[in-house]
Structure 1
Amino acid sequence: MAADLALVGARATSFWSAQRIVGVVLLAAIAAFAFLTPFVIDTDPVRQSLRHALGGPTAAEPLGYDHLGRSMLARLSAALRLSLGLALLSVVTAAVPGIALGILAAWKGGVVDRLVSLVADAFLALPGLLLVLMFVAIVPNAPWALYVGISLVLWIEYFRLTRSVTRALVASPAVQASRLLGFGPLYVVRRHIWPEIAPLVLTVGAFGAASAIAAIAALSFVSVGVRPPTPELGLMMTELLPYYHEAPHALLQPVVAVFLLILSLNFIAGSNSR
C-alpha cells in the first residue's frame, strides 16, 4: 500500500512540472478574461461608433477601438470565447471516438482492428486542411462546421496513440490476471489502461487544441471560415491589417492573444517523463 502511494505521488510530482503549471495559470488567466469580461462591461462587440474609429485606449475602453469604432475589449473577449469553445469542442469530439475506437481495436484485434485502422487510413489519405475547407464550403458562415472538420482530422491521433499503448497493455501480466479473475472490460480499462494513456491523451489534447486554434485563425485570416461581423482572432487580424500604421495597438491585440493561447497549451502539453 505504501509503495502504491509513493508511486502515485511520484507520478503526480512528475506530471505537475513547473512548465505545465505556468501553462495552466496562463490559460486560466486568458479564460477568465474571455468569460468574465461580459460581466464587468456592458459593451456589444458588434456595435459601431465611427467617431471612435481607430481610437486609442481610454479609461472607458482600455484596449481602444477598431476601424469601425467597435470596442476592442468586447471583441477580443468574444473572439477568445469562440476560439476556446471551438477548440474544446474539437478536442472532445475527436478524443471520445478516437480513444474508444483505439481501445476497441487493440482489445478485439483481428478483423475489427483491421477495419477501424482502414477507416483511419482513409481519413489520412485526405489532407486535413482540405477536409476542413470542404465542410466550410458546404456550410458557410457556420462556426460548428469548423470544429466538425477539425475533429475529423484530430481523432486519428487519439486512435493511433490509444491503439498502440493498449495493444501492449492488453498483453501485460496485470491485465491478463484481471481477466482471469473475471473482471470485465470496464474494470480493466479504468484500472489498467486509462491511468497509462491519460497523461498521453492530455498531451495530444493540448497540442490538438493549439492546432485547432491556429487552424481557425488561419482560415479566417484568408477569409475562409467565420464571417464578419462575428469576432474571431484571425478575422480581426484581417480586418485590422490595412490600418497597422494608424493603430498598431489594435492589430497587435489579436496577434498577442493567439500567441499566448498557443503558448499556454504547449506549456500544458509539456513532456511526460516517467
Structure 2
Amino acid sequence: MIRKSVFTSRSSLYITSFTLFAFILLLLVPYITPYDPVHINMGERLKGISVEHLLGTDHLGRDVFSRILAGSQMTVGISILVLAISLCIGVPIGLLSGYLGGKVDSFFMRIVDAFMAFPDYIVAIILSGLLGPGMFNLVFAIVMVKWVGYARLARSVVLSEKQRDYITMAKINGLSSIGVLRKHMIPHVVGNVMVLATLDVGKVILMIASLSYIGLGAQPPAPEWGAMLNEGKAFFYHAPHLMVIPGLAIMIVVLMSNLLGDFLRDRFDVKNQKGEG
C-alpha cells in the first residue's frame, strides 16, 4: 500500500511537472524559435540535421525545428481552443437537459443522437469539405462533433445525482434551481468532464492533423504539424525527417495527453478510492 501511494505521488509529480513545462513552452514559443518559421531560403533547402539547423530544413529552406515549435502552438493551441468552445456549449446544454428533463431533454438529446449517429471523423470531414479549407472552418467543424459528448456526459451525471436525497433536502430548504446546479451539480460534473477533455486533447490533435494533411485544415505556409506532413510526403525518400519529425511530435503529445487523462481518471474514480480506503 505504501509503495503504491509513493508510486502514485511520484507519477502525479512527473505528470504535473510535464504538463506545466509544456504549457510554459507553448507560451514561450515566439521567443525561443531560432528562425522565422515561414521564412524561405532556397539556398538552404533540404539540409540535414546540423548545429545550425537542429532538425534540418524543408524543401523551401525553412528551419524544421522552428516550424515544429511554432506548429506546437498552432496544433495544440487550436485543440485546446476547440475543447474550450465544446465545453462551453456542451456542458450547459447537458446540465439543463438533465435537470429540466421533459421536452427540453428530448429536444437536445435528439440533436445529440443525430450527431453521434456517425463517426466524428466522417462528420468533421463532411463539414470541412462543405465549408472549405481553413482553420476557422476546421475549428467550427470539430466543435460541431465534439460538444455532443460533453452534453451527454453532463446530462448523465445530473440524471444520476438529482434523484439523491441531498438534492431533495436542498430543494426543501429553499435552494433555487440555479443554486442546485451551481452548488451540487457542477462540482460533480467538473471532474468527469476534465477527464474526458484531457483524453480528447489527443483525439482533437489527431483530427486537426488529419484534416490538415488532406488539405482541409491549415494552409501553407502555416507551420501546422499535419500540414507539414502533407508538404514533406513528396520528399520522403530524399529527406525523411520532413515527415518523421512532425509525426513524432504528434505521437509524443497524443501519448502524453492520454497518460494525463488516465491519471486524472484514476484520481477521480470514486469507486476505486473507496475500495482502497
TM-score (norm 2): 0.85
Q: Does the aligned pair in 2 maintain the 1:20–1:268 contact within 8 Å?
A: no
Tell me what 1:56 maps to: 48
Of 225-234 and 29-38, more deviation after overlay is shown by 29-38
Amino acid at match of 1:75: R
Tell me what 1:133 maps to: 125
Tell me if 1:84 matches 2:68: no
Give the one of 186, 198, 201 matched to 1:206.
Answer: 198
Tell me what 1:245 maps to: 237
Amino acid at match of 2:168: Q
Name the CA distance, whole Å, in 1 between partners of 2:173 and 2:9. 37
Name the CA distance, whole Å, in 1 between partners of 2:97 and 2:197. 20
Tell me what 1:10 maps to: none
Residue 34 to residue 63, structure 1, CA distance change in 2 (3 Å): farther
Name the CA distance, whole Å, in 2 between partners of 1:170 and 1:259. 40
How far apart are 1:56 and its partner, in Å? Answer: 2.4
How far apart are 1:59 and its partner, in Å? Answer: 3.2
How far apart are 1:177 and its partner, in Å? Answer: 0.9
Tell me what 1:44 maps to: 36
How far apart are 1:195 and its partner, in Å? Answer: 2.1
Q: Does the aligned pair in 2 maintain the 1:21–1:268 contact within 8 Å?
A: no
Tell me if 1:105 matches 2:128: no
How far apart are 1:18 and its partner, in Å? Answer: 5.1
Q: Does the aligned pair in 2 maintain the 1:106–1:163 contact within 8 Å?
A: yes
Name the CA distance, whole Å, in 1 between partners of 2:82 and 2:104. 26
How far apart are 1:164 and its partner, in Å? Answer: 0.9
Q: Does the aligned pair in 2 maintain the 1:19–1:267 contact within 8 Å?
A: no
Higher normalized contact order (CA 8 Å, seq sep 6+, divided by chain length) = 1
Tell me what 1:196 maps to: 188
Residue 254 to residue 155, structure 1, CA distance change in 2 (3 Å): same
Name the CA distance, whole Å, in 1 between partners of 2:145 and 2:35. 36
Name the CA distance, whole Å, in 1 between partners of 2:132 and 2:22. 28
Amino acid at match of 1:216: I
- Structure 1 residues 37-84: Cα deviation after superposition (integer angstroms, max 9, x where no partner): 321345221111122112123333322211211011221112111112
Q: Does the aligned pair in 2 maintain the 1:22–1:264 contact within 8 Å?
A: no
How far apart are 1:111 and its partner, in Å? Answer: 1.2
Name the CA distance, whole Å, in 1 between partners of 2:182 and 2:38. 47
Name the CA distance, whole Å, in 1 between partners of 2:33 and 2:121. 37
How far apart are 1:140 and its partner, in Å? Answer: 2.8
Tell me if 1:265 matches 2:257: yes
Amino acid at match of 1:199: G
Tell me if 1:176 matches 2:156: no
Amino acid at match of 2:69: S
Amino acid at match of 1:178: A
Tell me if 1:185 matches 2:177: yes
- Structure 1 residues 115-166: Cα deviation after superposition (integer angstroms, max 9, x where no partner): 1111111222344333322332344332021111111111111111111110
Give ranges in structure 1 of 5+ residues lacking alignment: 1-12
Tell me if 1:235 matches 2:227: yes
Q: SS state of the match for residue 69, structure 2? A: helix
Identity %: 26
Name the CA distance, whole Å, in 2 between partners of 1:187 and 1:76. 46
- Structure 1 residues 171-222: Cα deviation after superposition (integer angstroms, max 9, x where no partner): 1111111111111233322322222221210111112221111011111222
Name the CA distance, whole Å, in 1 between partners of 2:200 and 2:29. 26
Name the CA distance, whole Å, in 2 between partners of 1:19 and 1:143. 36
Q: Does the aligned pair in 2 maintain the 1:23–1:266 contact within 8 Å?
A: no
Amino acid at match of 1:26: F
Q: Does the aligned pair in 1 maintain the 2:86–2:146 contact within 8 Å?
A: yes
Name the CA distance, whole Å, in 2 between partners of 1:204 and 1:269. 7
Amino acid at match of 2:213: F
Amino acid at match of 1:90: V
Q: Does the aligned pair in 2 maintain the 1:27–1:261 contact within 8 Å?
A: no
Provide the aligned length of Structure 1 versus Structure 2: 260
Give the one of 118, 139, 142 matched to 2:134.
Answer: 142
Tell me what 2:273 maps to: none
